[in-house]
Structure formats: structure tokens, C-alpha cells
Amino acid sequence: MGVDHSTMMYLPNYNFWARPVTFYPVKSQPGVPSYNARGIFGTVDIDIVAMDGSDVSEQRTILDILEREFAVLPVQQDRLYIPNECLHDAQLPEV
């Protein structure tokens, strides 16, 4: 019997950490109005030490989504509105 990792592991964590997000599908679905969904937003600092000893700082920002919650997956160049974390339980603004 197989293990459904999406339901058993990802979904409980997603239910706890996901934040409301408004998607503007300008690239994935041109002409379709914005829609509300949720995702796990995170930014990770990346520090790289060059061979000359200098330090290069970057960051990687991601929004994890559950594919099964989307009929058409968002793609790069779609736009997002992610409200402040203090608004996590607040109603999303009308778009």
C-alpha cells in the first residue's frame, strides 16, 4: 500500500503555515481575473564567500503551493499580493 505524502504530511503543515495570497495570473491565464488562494511564503539568505575573500549576499524568496489546489498552476511572471503577516486571519481586500 502506498503512502499519500501530500495528504498525510504536506497538508497538515500547509494548513498550519499557509498564508492567504491573491494571484494575478497575467502570464499563466491572460485575461482571467485575480483569485484568492494560499501559500507558504519564505525568504532565505544566501551568503557566498568569493575566492578573494569578499562576501556576496543574495536571497531566495519562494511561495510554496499545493498543486492540487489549483486548476491551472501559477507560473513565473504571474503577479502576487501577499498581505502582511499580521493580516493572516484578516479578510483579503477586494480586487
pTM for this prediction = 0.71
Decide: helix, strand or coil at residue 32: coil
> What confidence score (pLDDT) does residue 95 get?
46
Mean pLDDT confidence for 59-69? 90
Provide the pLDDT confidence category of residue 71 given band limits of 50, 70 and 90. very high
Query: What pLDDT score does 20 carry?
Result: 92
Taking alpha carbons only, the member of 9, 4, 7, 66 closest to residue 38 is 66
The pLDDT, as a whole number, for residue 37 is 95
- The rounded distance, in Å, linking the Cα atoms of 75 and 26 is 9
Question: By three-state DSSP, how is residue 38 classified?
Answer: strand
Is the alpha carbon torsion for 10, 16, 17, 19 positive or negative?
positive
Mean pLDDT across 65-93: 80
The model's pLDDT over 30-46, given as tens digits with 9 standing for 90+, comes to 999 999 999 999 888 99
